[in-house]
Amino acid sequence: HHHINQQVTNVLEGELEMTVEGKTTILKNGMVAVIPPNAKHSAVALTDCKIIDVFQPVREDYRKLDE
C-alpha cells in the first residue's frame, strides 16, 4: 500500500521483513525504517514483534473519533 504520510517504523522487539519500493530489508531490535510519502511498502512479521510507527502528518484515518 502507500499513503501521503511519511512513516518511521521503529522495531522494539522481533524481526520484521519490510519492503519499500521493491527493496526488502529484515529489521531487528533497535532498527528503524523511514518510508517516504507515497512510497509503496509492505511488512511481514517474521516473529512476534513490538513496533512503533510514527506518521507525519498524522494519519487522519488513525485518529480516534470523538463519541
The domain ranges of the chain are 6-61
Q: Please report where in the chains the cell 523511514 appears, as a residue.
A: 34
What is the model's pTM?
0.86
R_g of the chain computed on alpha carbons: 13
Q: Is the pLDDT of residue 54 over 60?
A: yes
* Cβ-defined contacts of 13-16 (< 8 Å, 24+): 13/48, 13/49, 13/50, 14/45, 14/46, 14/47, 14/48, 14/49, 14/50, 14/51, 15/45, 15/46, 15/47, 15/49, 16/43, 16/44, 16/45, 16/46, 16/49, 16/51
pLDDT bucket at 10, cuts 50 / 70 / 90: very high
Q: What is the pLDDT of residue 27?
A: 98
Q: Is the pLDDT of residue 67 over 70?
A: no
**Hey, what CATH topology would domain 6-61 get?**
Jelly Rolls (2.60.120)
Average pLDDT on 12-22 reads 98
Q: What is the average pLDDT score of the chain?
A: 94
